Each structure stands twice: as C-alpha cells, then as structure tokens.
C-alpha cells in the first residue's frame, strides 16, 4: 500500500513538473544560457521560452549521432511556436513589451564567433495566428540591453551600429561605426535613424568621431563616421570643410560602387564598376549609397 502511494505521489510530481509553465521573468529581464545548463524554461505573459540541447541534423561528416546543438523555442499560449538556432558560446534572451500596450515579444541575441563578429539579434513577435522572426542583423561588439524609448514616441528603440563603415575607409582598428536606430513594429524592422527625435544619440557620436578625426594618426574612418552623424543632424555642410582639411590624403582608401549586383566572390562585372577619384568623392558617394544624404 505504501509502495503504491509512493508511486502515485511520484507520478503526480512528474506530471506537475511536465506541466510547469516555466520560471516567471520580469519585463526586459536579462537571461543568459549556456549549453552546460541543460533545459531551461522561462515565461512572461503568453510567451514561453525553452532553451535546450537537441540532436543535430542531418547526420553527416559534420554531425554525428550524439552531437547536440543549442536551440531556443518560443511558444505562445495558443500553441504557435518558432525554433531559433542558438550559439554554443553565448545566448542572451529578454522577454517584454516594445510598447505599453503591445504584446510580449522575445529579444534573442547569440554570439556567432568569427573575426570581429558577430552579435546576432532577432526578435520574435506575434503575427496573426503565428509567431514571426524579425532579423535585426549581426553586429560587431558586445550585446545590447533591453531597448528603451529614446524619442518618447511610445516604442522601444534598438540602438546598434552601422557596421557598413567598418573597413570601408580604414582598417578595422581605425574604423568607426556611427549609430543606427531600429524599431520593430508589427513584426517588421524599420530603420528610424533619420528621425529628429534621436538627435542626442547622433550628437554624442558626432562629438566622439570629431575628436578622432582631428586628433588621430589614421583619421579617415572616424572622419567618415563624423560625416554620417553630422548628416543625421543636418550639419554636414558645416563640418565638411574641416573633414577636407583633416583627412589623410596618402595613402587613402574609399569604397567604389557596382552598378549591378556583384558576384558571390565580390567581383563587379566588366564595365559596371564606378570608381571615385579621391576620399571626399568616395565618402560623398558612400553617404548617398547608405542613405545618409540624398543624391545630388
């Protein structure tokens, strides 16, 4: 009788554990997970997040039986779910609302590894009767925290860096990436950097880049970032004469442009390449191509 009672209690405990909704978390709380922790479950509102290790697939030269991969599964109360591949090195999750009355979303960052790279950022949002993954991109540097509403419009802002400037005018060490501001609205990523409500972000970036443009041995990367931040502030014409004095003339590098899509190995077809005569012309063209200033 005692044995049967013990078995019933054990079974009830197991069922209760299986039905557990996971550990409750606060809005925007930082959750870090590594593969050594095993399965972990978290929840906020109608979203449940499960970190786990799963058998890799398909089996082959790089995937053997018993090899496991990190996976994050986000599930809504109605049963809709998405799976995101994670990182064997670092995984950071935050659950919360991007607007006061908005639905709970999942903000997931994982480290991909590689030279100077990359913090991959994805946001899982409700989309009708399903969940949608919004790709924010991969960025050099450390993870960012839970987004905050910078401009006071009621929507939280993801402040990242415009890594298109890395290597464009100087080596990686001498490059400077200006800020970029993203919103996720209805599951769609929007670049809202040009909105005047973010002036303080670009004022700070402009001051830092200006100092390096004027004072560093290899200024062309920082001068480019200063020009970009000034363009966001509407002051590019005022700072341009200073950049013309301060930039390093020789040797100098700047991007060219291809009239059509380049091949997979980065080669522009013959007759389609546009090259610029000097750093100022190359920088102006780059700012047009990246959307900082309109074409002349």
Q: Is 44 helix (H, G, I), strand (E, B) or coil?
A: strand
Least confident of 1-5, 22-26, 80-84: 1-5
Kindly report which listed range (6-10, 92-96, 239-243) carries the lowest average pLDDT score.
6-10
For the stretch 211-247, pLDDT in tens is: 999 988 999 999 999 999 999 999 999 999 999 999 9
Domain range summary for the chain, segments of one domain joined by +: 25-146, 165-183+194-296
Per-residue pLDDT band for 84 (boundaries 50, 70, 90) equals very high
SS (H, E, C) 78-134: CCCEEEEECCCCCEEEEEEECECCCCEEEEEEEECCCCCCCEEEEEEEEECCEEEEE
Q: What pLDDT is stored for residue 69 in this prediction?
A: 93
Q: Give tens-digit pLDDT for 238-272.
A: 999 999 999 999 888 899 999 999 898 889 999 99
Q: Which residues pair with 105 in a beta bridge?
A: 96
């Amino acid at each position: 009788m005692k044995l049967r009672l013990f078995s019933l209690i054990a079974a009830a405990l197991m069922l209760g554990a299986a039905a557990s909704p996971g550990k409750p978390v606060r809005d925007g709380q930082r959750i870090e997970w590594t593969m050594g922790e095993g399965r972990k479950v978290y929840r906020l509102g109608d979203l449940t997040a499960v970190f786990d290790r799963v058998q890799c697939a398909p089996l082959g030269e790089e995937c053997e039986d018993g090899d496991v991969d990190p996976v994050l599964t986000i599930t809504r109360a109605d049963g809709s779910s998405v799976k995101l591949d994670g990182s064997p090195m670092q995984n950071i999750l935050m659950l919360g609302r991007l607007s006061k009355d908005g639905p709970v979303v999942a903000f997931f960052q994982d480290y991909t590894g590689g030279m100077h790279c990359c913090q991959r950022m994805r946001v899982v949002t409700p989309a009708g009767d399903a969940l949608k993954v919004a790709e924010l991109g991969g960025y050099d540097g450390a993870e960012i925290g839970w987004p905050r509403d910078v401009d006071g419009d009621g929507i939280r802002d993801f402040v990242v860096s415009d890594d298109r400037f890395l290597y464009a005018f100087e080596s990686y060490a001498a490059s400077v990436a200006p800020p970029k501001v993203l919103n996720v609205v209805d599951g769609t990523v929007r670049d809202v950097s040009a909105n005047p409500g973010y002036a303080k972000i670009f004022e700070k970036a402009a001051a830092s880049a200006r100092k390096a443009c004027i004072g560093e041995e290899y200024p062309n990367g920082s001068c480019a970032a200063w020009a970009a931040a000034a363009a966001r502030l509407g002051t590019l014409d005022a700072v341009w004469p200073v950049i013309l004095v301060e930039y390093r003339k020789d040797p100098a590098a700047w991007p060219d442009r291809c009239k059509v899509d380049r091949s997979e190995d980065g080669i522009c077809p013959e007759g389609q390449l546009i090259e610029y005569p000097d750093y100022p012309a190359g920088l102006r063209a780059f700012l047009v191509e990246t959307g900082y200033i309109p074409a002349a």
